Structure 1
Amino acid sequence: MQQSLLSLLLLAAPAWAYPSVTIKSCWDGDTCTTAAGEKIRLACIGTPELTGPRADPVAAKAARGHLRRMVVGKQVEIRRITKDRYGRTVGELFLAGPHITRLNVQREMVASGHAVVIPKYAKQCPWAD
């Protein structure tokens, strides 16, 4: 009986899981900070800029709001890919839990129209090809 229960639990568990972090805040639509202070740049996507010569503050605030609603205060899985020139971790975030199917945060940002795939970096994310 115990062996069959263990087998059932193993089948129900995800095939893979990444380390988890808690997101404390999001600066814009593609940059967040964890509760531990790690800065995360969402891999493979770009969102409108808040400031600068190509700023689009209305769209940038909408993207930031969408991302915040998805991840702030939540524990998310992270697939760390590399570090960028600013020392931020470049990675993919995933929402997962007992009542939700694993959701790729970057894919959701693109699907919702708040982000676009950056072709130069698309190879880092299998879904972005």
Structure 2
Amino acid sequence: MAIQLLATVMLASPAQTAAPESVTISDCYDGDTCRTTDGERIRLACIDTPELRGKRADPVPARAARDHLRGMVVGRSVGLRRITIDRYGRTVAELFVDEMNVQLVMISSGYARIDWRYADQCSWAS
């Protein structure tokens, strides 16, 4: 499964989806939510990571996921494929760095899992 997923990570590029726009990420709140330098909040589509706060909080792996995501995207220009707006007003989107799908990298690295409730939003998740 891990090898198959890694192969999918390597093959998933912006060229295979609608051409993404470019944004710069200023920070990531947790392992699946970032903010652009323009202040737009981005929720990474189709994945779920441990929560930092709340009833389901699991702070140690949540910080690890956040830090891994920050290392990949903060301060970088990334590709953004918009999907929708969620109930909190965040843009739900896929992110791409160096033609790699950030969500797939997070999953293959063990920091995230597919969120099956929303898997239909990403072709690689179905």
TM normalised by structure 1 equals 0.83
Contact in 1 for aligned 2:34/2:41 (Cα 8 Å): yes
Instruction: State how 1:25-104 maps to structure 2 within 5 Å.
Output: 25-96=27-98, 102-104=99-101
Aligned residue pairs, count: 111
Which residue identity is paired with 1:123? D
Question: Displacement, 1:54?
Answer: 1.2
Counterpart of 2:10? none
> Which stretches in structure 1 are left out of the alignment for 5+ residues?
1-13, 97-101
Q: Structure 1 stretches (4+) deviating beyond 2 angstroms? A: 14-17
Q: Which has the greater radius of gyration? A: 1
Task: Determine the C-alpha separation between the residues in 2 that align with 1:17 and 1:74.
Answer: 18
- For structure 2, the 5+ residue unaligned runs are 1-14
Q: Tell me the CA shift for residue 30 of structure 1.
A: 0.2
1:105 aligns with 2:102: yes
| Matching residue's letter, 1:60 | A
Instruction: Give the TM-score of the pair, scaled to structure 2.
Output: 0.85
2:117 to 110, 117, 120: 120
| Percent of aligned pairs sharing the same letter | 62
